[in-house]
Structure 1
Amino acid sequence: MSRPSGRTPRTYWVAGTAVLLALLFAAAATVTAATGDTGTPARTPALHSPDAGFARDMAVHHQQAVEMSFIVRDRTMNEAVRSLAYDIANTQANQRGMLLGWLDLWGLPKVVAGEPPMSWMGTSGADGEHTGHGGHGEQHGGQAAKPGALMPGMATKEELARLAAASGRDAEVLYLQLMTDHHKGGVAMAEGCARLCETPVERELAQGMVDAQRSELTLMADMLGQRGAAPRG
């Protein structure tokens, strides 16, 4: 297989640095999740608050990114793609564990029956309860879920099956395109938490996700270009 172009190592180093910083922050955030910036106990988020909704939805969103990354690892021998997939799987699995751990800490369920995905990205009232109710497929942050996908940016079952059946360059291109879509949806969701969540450490984690995934979006666009492909519309 062809070797990456000369600009990839530098771009990959930048993305890798962002991933490392996100992981280091995640470790520190776990220690301080139960307190505010001053060390005093933080108010426990309500069931339908942006804080809880983001934790539930991003945990699901991250799980698919981990799944796709494990699939492509076995479908190509390209070192750059496998390294990127490893970083994404490692980072998002760690972040997913934090999000689920916070829900446990807050005494809140990981799944709420009848709660539309991303409905927390509406208006939050003074009591922390969500007051807007966006339905499935509604646009949030300029993103909309495609038919067959649970949330914006997520792949469908058919797309996951195509990835599992592909190999070599075809698998690399499809993975990079699917993960580009996935990151765009994830960035929009994380920006929503950075704006709406009240738990300081969760807002900071969300902003860290935005910064790291934007860096990876630049990297993946470069990697697609090297393969004569481009992100999907």
Structure 2
Amino acid sequence: MVVAGAAVLLVALGLVALIVVRPSAASPSDASSSPGSSSRSAPAESSVDAGFARDMSIHHQQAVEMSFIVRDRTDDEDVRRLAYDIINTQANQRGMMLGWLELWDLPKSASGPPMKWMGHTVTPRGDGSLMPGMATDAELDALRSAEGRKAEVLFLRLMTVHHRAGADMAQAAAGSAETEAIRNLAAGMVRGQESEIGLMADMLKARGAKA
């Protein structure tokens, strides 16, 4: 019984040692992929990472807004399900990007015009559309005023344009960002939004409307 007890004690001590050692052994590789890792400096304010995080947060915010609008303007389950997916996915991604800016100790809004991180800038048009793909104030008002099939078709068309521009932005960040976290997030956005563009094309066709 004494021998058995000693054996159990040795096994327990061995497990404790593994628990203590493993996190420290894994920490270098984990830290290198973390957006706020102390093993590498945070991206600069003018970096692709920061510019993308700021601009895509604004882009996502409008997608979430349009999804909430159409959710209340139709009873169609397919459109409402798509709206819920966009709300949940893009609100979560927006939170991640704003969190990284906070972690990097960078402003959450740019001092200059948007899209500069992509090598070009966008001149504000004064209609509420701050970046390519974004709906104008008039288009948002039209969506708020529409109901049923009219609201569904308008939402699907606006969101298709929104997703196309968003996917272009994400593709640029996926290929140029410094941090692995931003590159991975952007690449996932490209796949997700391109998939939804195809879905929305089918939904428009089912409603007798063109994209």
TM-score, length basis structure 2 = 0.81
Question: Do the aligned partners of residues 146 and 196 (structure 1) sit closer, same or farther apart at CA in structure 2, a change above 3 Å counting?
Answer: farther
Moved over 4 A (4+): 145-148
Q: CA deviation at 1:195?
A: 1.0
CA contact (8 A) 2:113 2:123 kept: no
The answer for the alignment partner of 1:104 in structure 2 is 102
Give the greater-gyration-radius structure (CA).
2
CA contact (8 A) 1:66 1:88 kept: yes
The answer for the alignment partner of 2:72 in structure 1 is 74
Q: CA RMSD of the aligned region, Å? A: 2.0
Q: Deviations over 1:39-87 (max 9, x none)?
A: 7733200011000000000000000000000000000000000000000
Instruction: Give the Cα separation in 2 of the matches to 1:109 and 1:150.
Output: 18
The answer for the alignment partner of 1:135 in structure 2 is 121
CA contact (8 A) 2:51 2:110 kept: no
The answer for the alignment partner of 1:118 in structure 2 is 115
Instruction: Give the Cα separation in 2 of the matches to 1:221 and 1:35.
Output: 41
Which secondary structure state, in structure 1, belongs to the residue aligned with residue 122 of structure 2? Answer: coil
Question: Do the aligned partners of residues 146 and 175 (structure 1) sit closer, same or farther apart at CA in structure 2, a change above 3 Å counting?
Answer: farther
Instruction: Give the Cα separation in 2 of the matches to 1:228 and 1:42.
Output: 53
CA contact (8 A) 1:137 1:146 kept: no
Matches within 5 A, 1:31-180: 35-37=31-33, 41-113=39-111, 115-122=112-119, 134-137=120-123, 148-180=128-160
Instruction: Give the Cα separation in 1 of the matches to 2:87 and 2:208.
Output: 25
CA contact (8 A) 2:127 2:137 kept: no
Q: CA deviation at 1:147?
A: 6.2
Instruction: Give the Cα separation in 1 of the matches to 2:207 and 2:71.
Output: 17
Q: Does 1:226 align with 2:206?
A: yes
Instruction: Give the Cα separation in 2 of the matches to 1:87 and 1:35.
Output: 31
Which secondary structure state, in structure 2, belongs to the residue aligned with residue 180 of structure 1? Answer: helix
Higher helix share: 2
The answer for the alignment partner of 2:180 in structure 1 is 200
The answer for the alignment partner of 2:15 in structure 1 is none
Q: CA deviation at 1:201?
A: 1.1
Instruction: Give the Cα separation in 2 of the matches to 1:120 and 1:37.
Output: 22
TM-score, length basis structure 1 = 0.73
Q: CA deviation at 1:112?
A: 2.4
Quick one: which amino acid aligns to residue 117 of structure 1? Answer: P
Instruction: Give the Cα separation in 2 of the matches to 1:146 and 1:188.
Output: 23
The answer for the alignment partner of 1:128 in structure 2 is none
Instruction: Give the Cα separation in 2 of the matches to 1:214 and 1:135.
Output: 24
CA contact (8 A) 2:51 2:115 kept: yes
Q: Deviations over 1:84-131 (max 9, x none)?
A: 000001000000000000000000000122x11111012xxxxxxxxx
Instruction: Give the Cα separation in 2 of the matches to 1:193 and 1:36.
Output: 19
